[in-house]
Amino acid sequence: MALNREHSWMKKIWSSKLQYDMKKGMIGKILLMLCALLAPCLQLTAATAKENSRPLFLGQSAALSGPAQNLGLEMRAGLLAAFSLINDHGGIKGRELVLLSRDDGYEPDKAVRNTKVLIADDQVFALIGAVGTPTAKAVVPIVNEARIPFFGPFTGAEILRSPFQPYIINVRASYYEELEKLASYLIDGRKIRRIACFYQNDSYGYDGLRGIEIALAKRGMTLVSQGSYERNTVAVMGALQDIYEAKPEVVVLVGAYAACAEFIKLSKIKVGGDITFCNISFVGTESLRKVLGGYGRDVVVSQVVPYPNETDMELIREYKGAMAKYQHDSPISFTSLEGYIGGKLFGEIARAVEGELTREKFITTMESVGKFDLGGLVLQFGPKDHQGMDAVYLTWIYPTVRKLLSGE
């Protein structure tokens, strides 16, 4: 009897153990199956987390050496100031913005090499802050083939605006708009009739030359003379002779600051007379003023960004604070302000992208959001409008830079 009770008790134990082992095995199998099902999701989550923590690299090819180096250095300083401020406030959804700058010396062949390296080796998300028309013209085919945003270049060239190209995003007004503004001031305002053009002998100079010719043609006029010089030189004597044979009242200059300063100085020394010199924004206003010194009288420069010493615009106060904190060795200038605007705008668009940040979504977000207020400066975009601003301002540069008033 006792043996039977013991046997019955042992059967219950073994039965319970068997059920436990079976359950344990089933639970294990279920857990294994769940792990197998969830593994891709876990890997995807880990990959997403890793991607979201990876810096967002942006590439810049610009003149950081040579006669046009101040343009590239100031553009870079403005971008860096904007990115540093963005990074200090959490970056782009946690991702740090990193600018990779490569020197092209304002030479197209070097710009092409830099661009290929930035895209293929550095794997940048976008190209930003390029400097100059000839360099931009050389890399546009690469940009279009790679389908990579070419954002905020420091040029008003028409080739970046017409025909429309979906991966090119301009912040500033065009050279045609600048030259129309200058023509209106000179002809409609001051009633000047004899206008000549000094230009750089490349795509930048030709664009400016064409721009002033169009503006004059609208008013039934033509240039009285013209002369050119070679990029990255200050060999202007030939142009000086060609231009002054026609005795112009005004010379419109389409060049970089070193050559334009040399032309203006020699004009005042060798020719004299009451001549006004009008430059477009790419010249580099502060660099031109510094090189000219006392020769800067009667020199006008058209601008495509607000006056950088304004105190009543939130954007300018922010820009000057960021420059003082992050780029205090670089000048407060129209060029560094343009770089800052480009960098801040990039950040605003990138933050507005929903979900994963891709190149295509970056562009479509810019187009769909449309209006971006950077603190008193509003930029407007659309599906077929990739130029944020159209405003043009005129300034005198001597003895300090100041706004040109109507009637002057």
DSSP letter string, 267-302: IIIII-SS-EEEE-GGG-HHHHHHHHGGGGTTEEEE
CA distances 289 to 82, 111, 257, 361, Å, are: 25, 28, 9, 42
> Do 54-172+308-389 and 176-303 show the same overall fold?
yes
3-state SS, residue 168: strand
Query: For residue 4, what pLDDT band results from cuts at 50, 70 and 90?
Result: very low
pLDDT on residue 383: 97
Whole-angstrom distance, CA of residue 68 vs CA of residue 71: 6
Tell me the CATH class for 54-172+308-389.
Answer: alpha beta
* pLDDT surpassing 50 at residue 3: no
Burial class (CB in 10 A: 0-12, 13-18, 19+), 27: exposed
Per residue in 44-91, pLDDT tens?
A: 444 444 556 799 999 999 999 999 999 999 999 999 999 999 999 999
Q: Which residue has the tokens 């390296």?
A: 117
Determine phi and psi for 157, rounding to 5 degrees: -60, 140
Determine phi and psi for 27, rounding to 5 degrees: -60, -40
* pLDDT surpassing 60 at residue 42: no
Domain boundaries, the chain: 54-172+308-389, 176-303
Angle at which helix 314-326 crosses helix 334-352, to 10 degrees, equals 100
Per residue in 174-222, pLDDT tens?
A: 999 999 999 999 999 999 999 999 999 999 999 999 999 999 999 999 9
**66: left (phi > 0), else alpha (psi -120 to 50), else beta?**
left
Contact call for residues 279 and 299 (beta carbons, < 8 A): yes
Per residue in 329-358, pLDDT tens?
A: 999 999 999 999 999 999 999 999 999 999
* pLDDT surpassing 90 at residue 301: yes
Query: For residue 310, what pLDDT band results from cuts at 50, 70 and 90?
Result: confident
In this structure, the strands spanning 195-200 and 225-229 are parallel
Stretch among 46-60, 106-120, 129-143, 144-158 having the lowest mean pLDDT = 46-60
Query: Per-residue DSSP letters for 104-167?
Result: -TT-HHHHHHHHHHHHHTS--SEEE--B-HHHHHHHHHHHHHHT--EE--B---GGGTSS--TT
Query: For residue 121, what pLDDT band results from cuts at 50, 70 and 90?
Result: very high
Q: What value, to the nearest 5°, has the Cα angle with vertex 245 and ends 243 and 249?
A: 65
Q: Which residue has the tokens 């305002």?
A: 189
Q: Which DSSP letter does residue 402 get?
A: E
Mean pLDDT of the chain: 91
Q: Which residues contact 317 (CB under 8 A, 6 or more apart)?
A: 311, 375
Query: Per-residue DSSP letters for 89-105?
Result: TTTBTTBPEEEEEEE-T
Mean pLDDT, rounded, for 137-141? 98
Whole-angstrom distance, CA of residue 232 vs CA of residue 340: 26
pLDDT on residue 358: 98
* pLDDT surpassing 70 at residue 144: yes
Tell me the CATH class for 176-303.
Answer: alpha beta
Query: For residue 405, what pLDDT band results from cuts at 50, 70 and 90?
Result: confident
Contact call for residues 180 and 278 (beta carbons, < 8 A): no
Whole-angstrom distance, CA of residue 210 vs CA of residue 205: 9
* pLDDT surpassing 80 at residue 362: yes
